Amino acid sequence: MERHGIKTLFERLQKQETCHFPKAGERLVAPPTHGVYVIRDPSRKVVHVGRTVRGRNGLLQRLYQHLRGQSSFVQVHLNGNCSQLRGGYTFQYLEVPDDRERALLECFATAWLCPEHLGVGAKTGNANGTLAT
């Protein structure tokens, strides 16, 4: 059953090594393959769940985009201050080559972990990732 397979992937994601975002001048270590990732704040609270959709360098490219402030997560949740990631934020990732499995795992992880920020593609919003009125 496909549902069981996604749950198994989620369990694997949860067991992955926790990586720190690098300090200024240090290199980000992540694979150039596609996958799903979870970002936690310094208190270990889940603040974002994401996946790679396109891009040649997969997870490496997407996590670098967060470090450069090129994501709604940084723009909305961190008020554009991408340097906060270097101050104790961590991430875990799981390489998932299959597009469908990646999308389902992101959805499952988001529903299970209830991150503070939901990447809904909004250009503006409040700290919870919901649209500002």
Place of tokens 């790679």: 52
pTM given for the model: 0.88
Mean pLDDT of 58-82: 95
Work out whether strand 46-51 and strand 19-20 pair parallel, antiparallel, or are unpaired: unpaired
Domains and CATH numbers, the chain: 2-113 (3.40.1440.10)
pLDDT of residue 54: 85
The pLDDT score that the predictor gives to residue 124 is 46
Per-residue pLDDT of 103-131, as tens digits, reads: 999 999 999 999 999 876 555 444 444 43
pLDDT tens-digit series, residues 3-47: 999 999 999 999 999 999 999 889 999 999 999 999 999 999 999
Calpha distance 124→102 (Å, rounded): 26
pLDDT for residue 120? 60
State residue 21's pLDDT score. Answer: 97
Pairing of strands 19-20, 90-95: antiparallel
pLDDT of residue 118: 87
